[in-house]
Structure 1
Amino acid sequence: MVTLAAVTSATAPLDVVLPAPEHVAPDPAEERLAALYSPAWGTAGRHVRVNMVSTVDGGAWGPDHLSGSINDEADWRVFRVLRALADVVLIGAGTARLEGYTALERPGGITAGPDDRAARLELVLVTRSGRVPTALADADRPPLVVTGAAGAQVAGDALPADRVIAAPAPGDPESVDLAAGLDALTDRGLRRVLCEGGPHLLEAMLRADLVDELCVTTSPCLVGAGPGRIVAASVPGLPATPARPARLAHLLHAPATGTLLARWDLHDPVR
């Protein structure tokens, strides 16, 4: 497999299997892919998209406990387009720490996309504790942090006040109200949200019905027992969330590797 860090150019052709057969050749500007992934508006005047990768047998990471080891060039193409179309990348602080996230720059060369995108691609950490990785806190452009009441005090010691969004959950000020956090981002004009996990944050967002669409790359490998799924319990002991419908908006296939890239619509499952 080819990790994201090893990929330096777009060389993976893709077939659009659905809605109609089509071949999308590599293109530095990625105009066709950007059109395919153009966000439809969801609830509350924003669009929340989640992008995850999974192996054929359901693993969310490889033997090194990192998602980068199950990525390839096809996933990298879509990954760059989704970031280019977003205003913010939302990530759980634990995942940001594990995967080594740094301050973000919008992918260069991708010219298509909405004209009203935020000038900068913001990194937004969701953290109950308020602890921010040192490398991010000390960056020239530190992340925004969405956290609870106690977490806001901790984050406030490491970040400028305008980078901390206090969104305590009703009845549990130590927890994070994700809907309130997203509302605060919308109020700042950050309406196109790309969530990159991890599994605990995805479960919490699905439970709160905050996800408009889910993009899932199926990597053509198996990792066996050990790695978890792309969704994991955010709070131990909570009952399972009810099954919900999803509509396949489109499916891409990388013929060189067999990688599948699906875009699932969760807020308009039936047409």
Structure 2
Amino acid sequence: MPRLFFRDDELAKPMALNTSLNQLVRLVGGPVSGLLVAAVGLVGALVVDGLSFVVEFVVLLAIRPPYDVRPQLERTSVLREAADGMRVAWADPVLRVVLLVVALVAAFVLPVTSLCVPLLARTHGWTAMQTGLVVGASVAGGLLVTLTVARLGTWQRPGFVAGLGCLLASAGIAVLALSPTVWTAATAGLVQGIGVGIFTSHLAPLFVQSTPRSHLTRLQSLLSLAQTIPLIPSTNLLAALNPHHALTLSATTTTLAALALLHLQPTPLRFPEHKLR
């Protein structure tokens, strides 16, 4: 989708803006949904939800992307195309590292706010409002970074900067594991959110720009799988551990992901030509 509207050298800002909007929805979606249910009930909320998809459908029918990025290749079997996508991803040193790092970060960073923070709050006896403060600080940190990137753009070495962001996120998670008070935990959550924001806002454009146009859809699917499949075993593992140990494990694995990105050799990004419709 991004390549339908922007050239490859313009991707960083719009993708960061898209991430900012997603984080803004995470921040305000819960309270707005609660108000909606209170106003019109569950059935009314479901009706509004269904109508929102109709609006999206109409918008998708109405928009006319300026670029045509469809691959000029003949289609083969689904299994053969999937295998070809995995072959391309594994053969490319940048894509291989990016996919492995995304899988590691998704497995041990995504559960921090959704699983580890509530378990940590129960251990310390924090209230729901105090727990929300920690989670909100993390979301706010990521939102601050992505809005900044949307305005100013990314740094010249996105892989290296993404590694620094990953390292900052691991430091925030480590402090969170040792936090004795809500305010310390909220500060750690803010640091973690800033690190994750730096990581995602720099790694996403790097992935898209490093992907051959002919394999973009297949590699995007691999990226989605890398973000979801590892969550199944990691969530069960972290849930079985003490919250402090779970956060320590998350910080350690995030550090390993950061080191992999910091050692990634700078590779000239591919900017395939876009054809105007």
- TM-score band (shorter)? under 0.3
> Which has more strand, going by share of residues?
1
Q: TM-score, normalised by structure 2?
A: 0.24
Structure having the higher Rg: 2
Higher RCO (C-alpha 8 Å, min separation 6): 2
Q: TM-score, normalised by structure 1?
A: 0.24
> Which has more helix, going by share of residues?
2
